[in-house]
Structure 1
């Protein structure tokens, strides 16, 4: 087909002013959490050796690694609970260690092994956590009761936390961590000791939270749980990140557990050296 010809237009007049420079390129989205060169040593032991990690806003991010890998130390530094020897932590663009008040205001933290004010009742503890955040007392009262009901703690809300089971203690600590509706939740082993029904309820709460624009970072040893629950994952060992990205990218068509074991090593097969366990 013959190309359509366009009638020529007269030449435009010569511009008498210098055109403005092109505008800046669209800024990249600010991550929910950015760790840069994070280091922490305890005496001669290097617990975290220069970790770099970027957690996209709105993601459900899993942090996995063997015992002693540096996960808890990393999360403690990322949330203002432990000062790093070197490196930078930014929470939604806020330099956490330069302005800890602003950074901590938008984080909800459930540390592993956290000591609670266990001579308070469950309701008192969650209420206290909300009031410490500067929330309105009526709002605190409403949210505390809603959280305790959602976590199946309503019947024991007037019981002292010291008398709670391990699972109940984990759940009430979770309620205290999220009552202020933070933009970022950092949860270290949140399902440990929690019964399957309560764990399912917590996962539902977290999915709704991420769906509403929040970001969750969860540390767990349960690979299948992370694979089903998270959209991003980082594998940590010996204080270093071995792999990070979307779950599909990291596992590469295999199960996350197989990829994890190949990355960190240490797989044992059979009963070599344990033949005495055989009963026949």
Structure 2
């Protein structure tokens, strides 16, 4: 699939505004005595392809869950394109498409039914939903599996049908938590083309990933989170500061162990 082909079928977001796609201020969340996110501030420019990276347990998923209205914060404010997520929850959710890592789908529906359901849930007419569902199934190589129950999908197919469901209503902001996990290389390339076309069409993408190389190649902005705090944010070139994003990440987060390991691991 070429970039031009991706552009031709991706639902185009509505006209953008000058407001940031996402603005987070003073965000805090704890679970008992465990502080997951601590006074986090983050601004994601509209029209950007924004990477969010951090080690396991850094607070990435918790941050994204609060940012998209799935988890209520203990403190702080969140705005999507100028709309307060918790004061105008319904409006804010209409502006965003979400692919959450590990969240259960209605897997007793077929793939086609699941995407259709999401479109109708957003108030779209059936004709538009049907056309967009067909486009997305073709784009994500799920046409033959459209009539199969989602419960019978592989992990990679499940990721792709969840992405189609997040895209069908042409959201202004797309938030993806580990979208490439378990996805084969060809499908991953197609998804990258799709997302690039979506950004060129006026949308904003936030992607959380453990693949530093992928984020460096794909994203024009990036934020590094560690222990629930923002460690660095800006354009990808600014954050990596002349190094690779992986090296910069390790430098900021810490925890790298050097050395050859114990002698019993050496076979000669």
Distance in 1 (alpha carbons) for counterparts of 2:124 and 2:260 = 57
Distance in 2 (alpha carbons) for counterparts of 1:39 and 1:226 = 25
Aligned to 1:236: 225
Distance in 1 (alpha carbons) for counterparts of 2:121 and 2:265 = 54
Distance in 1 (alpha carbons) for counterparts of 2:108 and 2:264 = 48
1:112 to 81, 101, 122: 101
Segments of 4+ moved more than 3 angstroms = none
Aligned to 1:195: 184
Deviation for aligned residue 1:69: 0.1
Deviation for aligned residue 1:145: 1.0
**Deviations for 1:171-202, whole angstroms, at most 9, x for unmatched residues?**
00000011000000000000000000000000
Q: TM-score, normalising length from structure 2? A: 0.93
Secondary structure of residue in 1 paired with 2:170: coil
Secondary structure of residue in 2 paired with 1:154: coil
Aligned to 1:220: 209
Distance in 2 (alpha carbons) for counterparts of 1:176 and 1:148 = 10
Deviation for aligned residue 1:74: 0.2
**How many matched pairs?**
252
Q: TM-score, normalising length from structure 1? A: 0.89
What runs of 5+ residues in structure 1 fail to find an aligned partner? 1-27
Aligned to 2:267: 279
Secondary structure of residue in 1 paired with 2:243: coil
Secondary structure of residue in 1 paired with 2:144: helix
Deviation for aligned residue 1:121: 0.7
Q: Is residue 145 of structure 1 aligned with residue 134 of structure 2?
A: yes
RCO greater where, 1 or 2, for CA within 8 Å and sep 6 or more? 2
Aligned to 1:156: 145
1:52 to 35, 41, 56: 41
Deviation for aligned residue 1:114: 1.3
**Deviations for 1:90-119, whole angstroms, at most 9, x for unmatched residues?**
000001101101111110000110101111
Deviation for aligned residue 1:169: 0.4
Secondary structure of residue in 2 paired with 1:57: coil
